[in-house]
Chain A
């Protein structure tokens, strides 16, 4: 009970890492950084999920933003149309299948991604528009930055099966031990 302040600080830091750590890493393909790669850790059973904030997949300037979106299974994603033109967003191939039809600027349609999987989104009017929504059943995921780096925050230490996916690439899987010093570097 007579701990000096510096000791308390060390214990707090140690306590944090004892209960949750940040898993950082990088993603490369053919030696080059990969942006918009999705990395996630499997947990069984997944903790319950309750959506607390809006998740947007914007349609603006004849493009989707972001072009890769990762959500927990059960997330409602808003699809606002911020272009003056009509869009017709659909996903017919994998994952959640839907067709939003046409709706004008300033209005929004919503889709609940209620099953895990990758939805490939296109606009049936504008062939250059494409995006991906990855629905996963774990709270531990991240999307790589332009520099190809990612951080999965708040992961309890332990051994996990990880999955990685990137547009145009084959899914990868492996195992990783999460502790304060562990990195996960993924190569395609």
Chain B
């Protein structure tokens, strides 16, 4: 087993009286790719948002890159520097150009000189195949381009871990592939990734481990080969039959 970079131990979370996360245990090794799937409302997004403390867990331990996430702001900042996140709605900063979106955090958080940050930004724009859009505003780009900018923005912080929260769910069908291609490339380079997604083709290609969640619990985890051909739980089987039906 490789070094553990994300570890969840007995994690619980409630929204008021509603028990959203129930006793989650998960261990992600360095360079591993986890794909999390499950019906809507099953707590997938909430779980990965706990990993960089966009949501607070109320019980259990979450350790990321050797740092335990507590209410200590210093720890939270340290974790967020190591963890990149890509959102369903892109969440680019609309008042800044693409290049400014990419250099903002490196300059202000990592304290890089502006010139160096711009070089890094241009390198990653090249990587996500939109170097020519550097001086445009996010509103002028297509959804697929915006999501690739969002991925580049996270990569500019040189994170150890990337979290993807349904990165293709808000995209028009013809733009999904251009985003997935970038993600696959990233996976092949050895990035540690946790992706919430229903793109099962992508999952088969890159996942080391499939995680199925339902009603706040992790119901099943298995390598993709077993997961797709031989699901153990009835709930998994039902879910797979629904999303693979067409």
- Say if A and B assemble together: no
Could you tell me which B residues sit within 8 Å of A by CB distance? none
Could you tell me which A residues sit within 8 Å of B by CB distance? none
